[in-house]
């Protein structure tokens, strides 16, 4: 590995992996909570909304939590039909109230069957030792209940080659653990070394500019390639460089 590249990534990581990063990022939504189950649900929904303008994402994520009485895990488990009907007023881009209601009910079923999001991801990783397999199983399980087909577009399919940026970001939040206070480190049964980079326009463009990625498409094969390059730098925690790559991409465009 080029030592100058390693130093650049380390400097940028140190610059962006800080609590000051939180307020303007979707991770601020689950940071409203201290309870693990609340963080899981809030984090999943914040990640689900994470495309487009970051300020709009954060604003919409906090508004969504308000519609759930600022108790997302309890809302998922116990919301009445009347409570669920109030979600119809929500809209963020193409994710509307009907999608939100179907997602809440899908999470309720997951909670009843597995004991929550974390229990599902941790147990399935222990059984498979493969994040790609877990992502595929999660999507299949998530849509195992009645739902409107239109909402399926809001949960990427790794089996169709999608980069699954939002799911990878959600996993980063819940699995990574360091002394910086950005990610939560709640899911200790999944090693940080198993994570994959949340690949989007910013991280993809920066990775190509730095020679970490040669594939043109931002798909799962690109995720595998760039994550392998980052594992060569830090085998134990390759995804910590997500902050560095995203930050450099944002700075370039401002």
**Three-state SS sequence of 48-88:** HCCCCCHHHHHHHHHHHHHHCCCCHHHHHHHCCHHHHHHHH
Stretch among 20-24, 65-69, 93-97, 104-108 having the lowest mean pLDDT: 20-24
17 vs 15: CA distance, rounded Å: 6
Length of the chain measured in residues:
254
Instruction: Report the predicted TM-score, pTM, of the whole model to 2 decimal places.
Output: 0.96
Across 55-63, average pLDDT: 97
Query: pLDDT digit string (tens) for 33-48?
Result: 999 999 999 999 999 9
Tell me the per-residue pLDDT of 3-25, one tens digit each, with 9 for 90 and over: 899 999 999 999 989 899 899 99
Q: Please give the pLDDT value at position 254.
A: 44
Tally of domains in the chain: 1
* pLDDT over 60 (residue 115): yes
Q: Which residue range forms the structural domain that includes residue 44?
A: 3-253
* Residue 251 predicted with pLDDT over 80: no
């Amino acid at each position: 590995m080029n030592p100058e590249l390693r130093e650049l990534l380390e400097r940028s990581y140190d610059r962006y992996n800080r609590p000051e990063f939180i307020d303007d990022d979707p991770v601020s939504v689950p940071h409203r909570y201290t309870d693990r189950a609340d963080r899981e649900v809030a984090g999943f929904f914040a990640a689900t909304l994470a495309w487009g303008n970051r300020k709009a994402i954060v604003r919409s994520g906090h508004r969504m939590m308000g519609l759930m009485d600022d108790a997302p895990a309890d809302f998922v488990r116990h919301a009445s039909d009347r409570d669920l009907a109030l979600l119809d007023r929500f809209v963020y881009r193409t994710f509307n109230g009907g999608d939100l209601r179907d997602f809440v009910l899908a999470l309720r079923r997951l909670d009843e069957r597995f004991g929550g999001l974390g229990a599902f991801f941790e147990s399935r990783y222990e059984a498979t030792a493969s994040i790609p397999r877990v992502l595929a199983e999660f999507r299949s399980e998530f849509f195992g209940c009645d739902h409107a087909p239109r909402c399926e577009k809001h949960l990427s399919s790794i089996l169709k080659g999608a980069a699954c940026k939002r799911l990878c970001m959600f996993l980063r939040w819940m699995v990574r653990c360091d002394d910086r206070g950005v990610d939560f480190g709640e899911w200790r049964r999944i090693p940080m070394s198993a994570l994959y980079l949340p690949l989007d326009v910013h991280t993809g463009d920066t990775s190509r500019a730095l020679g970490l990625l040669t594939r043109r498409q931002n798909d799962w094969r690109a995720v595998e390639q760039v994550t392998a390059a980052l594992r060569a730098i830090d085998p134990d925690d390759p995804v910590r460089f997500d902050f560095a790559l995203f930050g450099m991409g944002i700075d370039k465009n401002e």
